Amino acid sequence: MLSNPYDRNCPTRQLLDRIGDQWTVLIVGALSAGPLRFTEIARRVDGISQKVLTQTLRSLVRDGILTRTAYATIPPKVEYELTSLGRNLSEPLDVLDQWARRHMTAVQEARDAYDAEHTPASA
Amino acid sequence: MLSNPYDRNCPTRQLLDRIGDQWTVLIVGALSAGPLRFTEIARRVDGISQKVLTQTLRSLVRDGILTRTAYATIPPKVEYELTSLGRNLSEPLDVLDQWARRHMTAVQEARDAYDAEHTPASA
DNA sequence: CGGTATCCTGTAGGATACTG
DNA sequence: CAGTATCCTACAGGATACCG
């Protein structure tokens, strides 16, 4: 049972607010192998728009999940790297991953069964 | 490191799609103590609208996370209860909860520091 | 009681163009 | 390269009213 989930300030709710959006998980995953430049991340997290990547990175930096290092070269170079906080975030993410791999097929089957049941037996 | 997070069908992404929305976690949390009726859930998960509660409950039933049992009495009575799948979902949720309790203050501090740093030293 | 149906709004986020 | 600025749209989700 979760602590006090009906409290808006419940840490778990805050955490879910943070990682609930897909991009965060993907970015943290991408950086788990080591620091990357902006464009590198964009390439790996396929489908993300530049705007959203920028926003998400900034907010992750703000939250102390990763650091941003800009090199005053030409052309510019900016590297993003997980902090220790960000690195140990992969722990709960792994647990999630394991649960998902173990049970998501069951969820999928439940969906299929439900949909079959609730589809008006076409024709 | 997560399995293949850039795949839309990656089970972890699907799971996060599912639990990423706050309400799901709150509802599962509310039901973890035992079955509840619609109105009971609405009362406990404060702030949720009837529409969204209905939608979320239906989709949780579809996913095999919980069951819906309607009693043909007057007035009607409908009970929602976690399935075994739904019950063991609380495992990863607990891990999330623990991470959050351990580290969310660090996140908060990082935010405060960032905001102080990036606030244009008013006045 | 436990919904459904309808309307309405805010906003997340994509596409595009421009810049230090 | 690594952004910012602007415009635009789809849709999540609230409020309200009604129904079996």
Position B65 pLDDT exceeds 50:
yes
CB of A62 within 8 Å of a chain B CB? The answer is yes
Question: In terms of CA atoms, which chain B residue is nearest residue A48?
Answer: B6
Q: Which residue has the higher pLDDT, A56 or A117?
A: A56
Closest residue, CA to C1' of D15: B49
pLDDT-based confidence at residue B108 (cuts at 50, 70, 90)? very high
Bridge partner list, A66: A82
CA distance B34 to A32: 39
CB of A91 within 8 Å of a chain B CB? The answer is yes
Question: Which of B7, B96, B109 to substitute to test the interface with A, most A CBs within 10 Å?
Answer: B96
Q: What is the reported pLDDT for A64?
A: 97
Q: pTM for the whole thing?
A: 0.90
Residues of B in contact with A105 (CB under 8 A): 11
Q: What number of C-beta contacts closer than 8 Å exist between A and B?
A: 167
Q: What is the reported pLDDT for A12?
A: 84
CA of B74 to C1' of C2 (A): 11
pLDDT-based confidence at residue B37 (cuts at 50, 70, 90)? very high
Q: What is the reported pLDDT for A123?
A: 37
CA distance B11 to B8: 8
Q: Provide long-range contacts, Cβ within 8 A and 24+ apart, for A39-43.
A: A41/A80
Position A116 pLDDT exceeds 60:
yes
The pLDDT mean for chain A works out to 89
CA distance A38 to A111: 38
Q: What is the reported pLDDT for B14?
A: 86
pLDDT-based confidence at residue B121 (cuts at 50, 70, 90)? low
CA of B65 to C1' of D10 (A): 29
pLDDT-based confidence at residue B5 (cuts at 50, 70, 90)? low
DSSP B74-111: SS-EEEEEE-HHHHHTHHHHHHHHHHHHHHHHHHHHHH
Q: What is the reported pLDDT for A5?
A: 56
Q: How far is A68 from chain B (nearest CA, A)?
A: 12
The string of pLDDT tens digits covering residues A89-108 is 999 998 998 999 999 999 99
- Both tokens of A37, joined, read 């430049």
Position B9 pLDDT exceeds 70:
no
* CB-facing half-sphere around the CA of A43: CA atoms within 13 A: 5
CB of B20 within 8 Å of a chain A CB? The answer is yes
Q: Select the residue of A15, A100, A113 nearest B15 (Cβ to Cβ).
A: A100
CB of B4 within 8 Å of a chain A CB? The answer is no
CA distance B123 to B119: 11
CB of B29 within 8 Å of a chain A CB? The answer is yes
Cβ pair A101:B11 closer than 8 A: yes
Position B13 pLDDT exceeds 90:
no
